[in-house]
A = this chain, B = another copy of it.
């Protein structure tokens, strides 16, 4: 079977030059005579030459692939993030590849030390089950950037927003609208990912600053971050007869589930109950009522993650692993302020 596309040798033969010279033209090497360059270029175009990625990869060690390793791409937050990452990767000449873990520890580990047989130049990962020591103890493979809180300052690159501050700001907003019994939905004590813990900290700080009591019954853990989990948490609150006047959910998905159950239960939002989320996914903007949320700068997260990988891939060791903090802002909408 012949190759699907012309290769350097075939172009060289047709143009009457050496393979090396064609390669020089393709790669833009300056020491090629103008008329030679032009002739070779013409043949390249004629034959529709496209460089063979496998050969380049084998030769140069770069595949041009970056892996996004996440629990699930169907989740709106990761979907939106993947969109930005794909765009940014494109700008840098990379292609994004998606690997789903389902939050499973074994699968996370498996992907960590060798996505597709060392075929990627770098990994952008959102770990749920692996702890920082797991993440560090791996063969000298492709550079790794983590998304979300990791308690691994100075040991691993990770991109985050200031979750404590963001949660505090949002909670303060709820307090300013007159709420005093604010539930927090979304604790994830079973995860190594420290994001939920930081948001809980911010929430508690805001309560303390306002002199509000801190009621453990209002701090509700969830199994996952799906709408169904938010719905279940809300049903639990209602069934237990807990009189909350606001719920702060640690993701928009949870909030949308909670909102659905609350309104289905006859509660008016925001009059009877304020509902707020986190992530600013597009669904929230069009919910009824639209959802107040913390909006992380997702394009900036994508840029930061890929910049970080680019630095690690550049010759030289680059700077020490760092915590890259990205901007966020409060997006106040109808679900908390009617």
Contact = CB atoms under 8 A, between A and B. Distances in A.
Contact of A57 (B57, B74, B141): B57
B86 A117 contact: no
Given A54-B57, A73-B79, A95-B97, A4 B86 contact: no
A191 interface: no
A4 B119 CA distance: 11
B98 A96 contact: yes
A98 B285 CA distance: 26
Interface of A: prevailing SS:
mixed
A98 B74 CA distance: 13
Interface in A38-86: 48, 50-58, 61, 63-65, 72-76, 78-80, 82-83, 86
A5 to B, nearest CB: 6
Given A96-B97, A100-B86, A287-B287, A118 B50 contact: yes
A55 B58 contact: yes
A231 B286 contact: yes
Contacts of A260: 286-288, 290
A97 B97 contact: yes
Interface in A14-56: 48, 50-56
Interface in A259-281: 259-260, 263-264
A227 interface: yes
A247 B116 CA distance: 47
A114 interface: yes
Contacts of A75: 79
Contact of A114 (B50, B61, B64): B50
B58 A86 contact: no
Contacts of A117: 50-53, 56
A14 to B, nearest CB: 17
Contact of A74 (B64, B83, B139, B257): B83
Nearest to A115: B95
A247 to B, nearest CB: 15
Nearest to A51: B117
A259 B282 contact: no
A10 interface: no
Given A73-B82, A79-B82, 18 more contacts: A4-B118, A4-B139, A5-B118, A5-B141, A50-B118, A53-B57, A57-B58, A58-B58, A65-B97, A73-B79, A73-B86, A74-B83, A76-B76, A95-B99, A95-B115, A95-B116, A256-B283, A260-B287
- The 4 A-B residue pairs with the shortest CB-CB distance, nearest first, are A79-B79, A53-B119, A74-B83, A54-B57
